[in-house]
Amino acid sequence: MRKFFSGLFRGLDGLRKVLHLLLLLVIFGFIFGAMGASGPKAPSDAALVLRPEGEIVEQLSGDPLELAIAEARGLGRDETRLRDLTDAMRAAKDDARIKALVIDFDRMGGAGQPTLDEFARAITDFRKSGKKVIAQANAYGRDTYYVAAHADEVYLDPMGLVVIEGYERYRNYYKQALDKLGVDVNVFRVGTYKSAVEPWLRSDMSPEDREASQAFVNSLWETYVAAVSKARGLAPEAVLSYVNTLSPAVQAAKGDGAKVALQAKLVTALKTPREVEQRVMQLAAKDDDKDTYRGVSVNEYLKVARAEDRLGKPAEQRVAVLVGSGEIVDGGGMGGVISGDKMSDLVRKARLDKAVKALVLRVDSPGGSVLASEQIYREVQAFKATGRPVVVSMGDLAASGGYYISAPADEIWASPATITGSIGIFGLFPTAPRTFDKLGIATDGVGTTPLSGELRLDRPVGPAAATLLQATIEHGYEEFLGRVSKGRNKTRDQVDAIAQGRVWAGRDAKRLGLVDGLGSLDDAVNAAAKRAKLKDGEWSRDYLEPDKSFAQQLLSSVQVWGARTLLKGVSLGDGGVDLQALAALRAARSEFTPVEREVLRMRAGAVPGRLYAHCFCTPY
């Protein structure tokens, strides 16, 4: 009898496994069948429609599933990847199915000027095809107008306004708050201009930081005015006059800001969204079902364009492009940061791939951990040791640790507005003995060595620890100078004279020899191909990205379809999700982001013995 039941249970367990497998096959068949039924279709006589959402970034941050669910719930995205925009325009330029390009700026947030410049360059390149580029918005801000100015036709809603507010750099300073709390931030640094730690030590901007900050915001403004005036065919003085007299001009126009922008020739005409649709219908086919023009979104178009590109891509010779965006952190990390482990692994992967003939690093980083920067630096050096070229393309920021990992490149390209340099090192460690005193808590005890108890939160940093940390910082600075002097073929003193933590705009960095050329990512890729002696038409650009798990690949394939299906029929009313409340919460939270970011950076940096090459130098 026991054998009977034992055999029965084994049989039932086997049947359970078979049914489980069949169920999984049915589920995956359903998913992939749905994907196939709604697969990408090639557009015909259509307009490519770009609707950037949120910030324009080099790399998307966050978890893919969360982003898909947010999109399915109609909350929109916080970011749009620059490469998706430029790839779509590059493919559509020579695609006979695409008749025009329409860019709607109403959901776009902002970006650094070099990122905006890459976006604008792609528009200018698209226009060489003879196809029209139409820009539209209810209102334009500084960043959206920079890009829109490069279109053939710039339309503004009759109720809109063009506000170009210029550049500024204001920071919060926490010294008085920390004094009230009884917290001391012990800082060890090298560099007269290394101002990253000033918010914790001062209540205002230091003269050195004011000098450097004023210099680079002036540089950004000059390049902005030059780019916009050239794109619109205006004199720079005309743009400056519009900006400087906007308030009285709008007042004189009885609040009609759109009329002022039109009179200043910043826009082509004032049109409602419906009127813009009618204009595009003159360029592309009409969608009778929707009574508008036939359009295709970036995401849908890229499914087709990239699939076609993969089919025709030569595999033998490639220029590998590795994008590093965000703060440089130790270990691993999600999107939006440069992981020391992941990025060095990708550089190693490129080194071991014989089809990769050159490496381009696209660096957009304020820096971070010195240890992680050194980890990446060593892998870049190992790639160079194979005799293949390394070229760096700098994005919005390539400062401190961002410059550290760029230094060994054979050639460095930057935008005139790239913020770079900030060659310096710091470390910090907060202590709060005064807080303990206020609470009536005393600290006393014994130790065995000069360092015993010198790095406690409840005691001041002792002289032995302070000497050790400062010596370590100074050594790290000398190592940094050595990395730069070797890569730039300069003496230690030549580098030190332009280092000291000072920030430089790209055009000044070129004059000082910190970068070799001013241009785009395309310029850097072409320079790498030239150094590798690759012939036109016989090589391809290949973006390196971390390998995805099976679940991530499945999610990428299913994309938003899966999220929409899962959420279909879910009530968002009573007891559900209040979308307006969520949107308001996100908007309110954004107001606290600068303070939150500084606190998180301090917490991450407050590790005894850990060194940082970081530049808190983003202008807004």
194 and 291, same domain (yes or no):
no
In the 8-state DSSP scheme, what is residue 546?
P
Tokens 């890009």 — which residue?
147
Q: Would you place residue 103 in the very low, low, confident or very high pLDDT band (cuts 50, 70, 90)?
A: very high
Distance CA(410)–CA(489), nearest Å, equals 11
123 and 172, same domain (yes or no):
no
Q: What is the pLDDT of residue 19?
A: 55
From residue 518, alpha-carbon distances to 349, 380, 398 in Å are 29, 22, 14
Asked whether the predicted pLDDT for residue 154 surpasses 70, the reply is yes
Rg (CA), the chain: 28
Please, which residues have CB within 8 angstroms of residue 476's CB and are 6 or more apart in sequence? 190, 370, 425, 611, 613
Distance CA(539)–CA(529), nearest Å, equals 8
318: three-class secondary structure by DSSP: strand
More confident of the two residues 490 and 557: 490
Least confident of 59-68, 154-163, 572-581: 572-581
Name 566's bridge partners: none
Residue 290 CB coordination number (10 Å): 10
Residue 243 lies in a domain: no
Q: Would you place residue 353 in the very low, low, confident or very high pLDDT band (cuts 50, 70, 90)?
A: very high
In the chain, DSSP finds a helix count (H) and a strand count (E) of: 25, 24
Q: Would you place residue 30 in the very low, low, confident or very high pLDDT band (cuts 50, 70, 90)?
A: very low
323 and 297, same domain (yes or no):
no
Please, which residues have CB within 8 angstroms of residue 446's CB and are 6 or more apart in sequence? 452
Q: What is the pLDDT of residue 425?
A: 82
201 and 297, same domain (yes or no):
no
Least confident of 322-331, 447-456, 554-563, 603-612: 554-563
Q: What is the pLDDT of residue 388?
A: 97
Using alpha carbons only, give the angle 235, 239, 244 rounded to the nearest 5 degrees: 140
377 and 278, same domain (yes or no):
no
140 and 173, same domain (yes or no):
no
- Burial of residue 410 (number of CB atoms within 10 Å: 0-12, 13-18, 19+): middle
Least confident of 248-262, 444-458, 575-589: 575-589
Contact of 379 with 342, CB cutoff 8 Å: no
**What amino acid occupies position 482?**
G
488 and 522, same domain (yes or no):
yes
Q: Would you place residue 258 in the very low, low, confident or very high pLDDT band (cuts 50, 70, 90)?
A: very high
Residue 13 lies in a domain: no
- b/e per residue 202-216 (b: at least 16 CB within 10 A): beebeebbeebbeeb
- Comparing C-alpha atoms, which of 107, 114, 105, 110 is closest to residue 56? 110
Q: Which whole number is the average pLDDT over 178-205? A: 83
Q: What is the pLDDT of residue 237?
A: 97
Residue 17 lies in a domain: no
Q: What tokens does 520 get? A: 């785009």
Residue 16 CB coordination number (10 Å): 10
Asked whether the predicted pLDDT for residue 382 surpasses 60, the reply is yes
84 and 179, same domain (yes or no):
no
- Comparing C-alpha atoms, which of 210, 185, 619 is closest to residue 399? 619
Mind telling me the catalytic residues?
Answer: 194, 400
Residue 258 lies in a domain: no
Residue 36 lies in a domain: no
Asked whether the predicted pLDDT for residue 522 surpasses 90, the reply is yes
Q: What is the pLDDT of residue 417?
A: 92
Q: What is the CATH number of the domain that holds 467?
A: 3.90.226.10
Asked whether the predicted pLDDT for residue 532 surpasses 60, the reply is yes
Asked whether the predicted pLDDT for residue 194 surpasses 80, the reply is no
331 and 285, same domain (yes or no):
no
Q: What is the pLDDT of residue 40?
A: 52
Residue 260 lies in a domain: no
Contact of 164 with 110, CB cutoff 8 Å: no
Q: What percent of the chain has pLDDT over 70?
A: 77
Q: Which whole number is the average pLDDT over 309-338? A: 82
More confident of the two residues 224 and 438: 224
From residue 590, alpha-carbon distances to 28, 143, 243, 507 in Å are 39, 18, 27, 32
Contact of 196 with 616, CB cutoff 8 Å: yes
**Of the segments 140-149, 195-204, 593-602, which one has the largest average pLDDT value?**
140-149
337 and 286, same domain (yes or no):
no
Distance CA(404)–CA(397), nearest Å, equals 12
Q: Helix crossing, 593-605 with 579-591: angle to 10°?
A: 60
Q: Give me the number of domains the chain comprises.
A: 2
Please, which residues have CB within 8 angstroms of residue 452's CB and are 6 or more apart in sequence? 446
Q: Would you place residue 209 in the very low, low, confident or very high pLDDT band (cuts 50, 70, 90)?
A: confident
Contact of 73 with 576, CB cutoff 8 Å: no
How does the average pLDDT of the chain come out, rounded?
A: 83
Q: What is the pLDDT of residue 284?
A: 95
Please, which residues have CB within 8 angstroms of residue 286's CB and are 6 or more apart in sequence? 292, 293, 294
Contact of 133 with 160, CB cutoff 8 Å: no
For 388-431, how does the pLDDT look when each residue is reduced to its tens digit (9 = 90+)? 999 999 999 999 999 999 999 999 999 999 999 988 887 777 88
Q: Which whole number is the average pLDDT over 276-289? A: 93
Q: Would you place residue 563 in the very low, low, confident or very high pLDDT band (cuts 50, 70, 90)?
A: very low
Asked whether the predicted pLDDT for residue 551 surpasses 90, the reply is no
Residue 610 lies in a domain: yes
Q: What tokens does 382 get? A: 């190992």
Asked whether the predicted pLDDT for residue 585 surpasses 80, the reply is no
What is the separation of C-alpha 117 from the centre of its chain, rounded to a whole number of angstroms?
14
350 and 415, same domain (yes or no):
yes
Q: What tokens does 186 get? A: 């012990």
Q: What is the pLDDT of residue 251?
A: 96
Range of the domain at 83: 46-162+267-304
In the 8-state DSSP scheme, what is residue 140?
B
- Burial of residue 222 (number of CB atoms within 10 Å: 0-12, 13-18, 19+): middle
Q: What is the pLDDT of residue 199?
A: 86
Q: What is the pLDDT of residue 569?
A: 34
Q: What is the pLDDT of residue 470?
A: 86
173 and 276, same domain (yes or no):
no
Contact of 173 with 203, CB cutoff 8 Å: yes
Residue 122 lies in a domain: yes
Which helix H or strand E contains 67, and what residues bound it?
helix 64-72
Q: Which whole number is the average pLDDT over 309-335? A: 81
Q: What is the pLDDT of residue 150?
A: 98
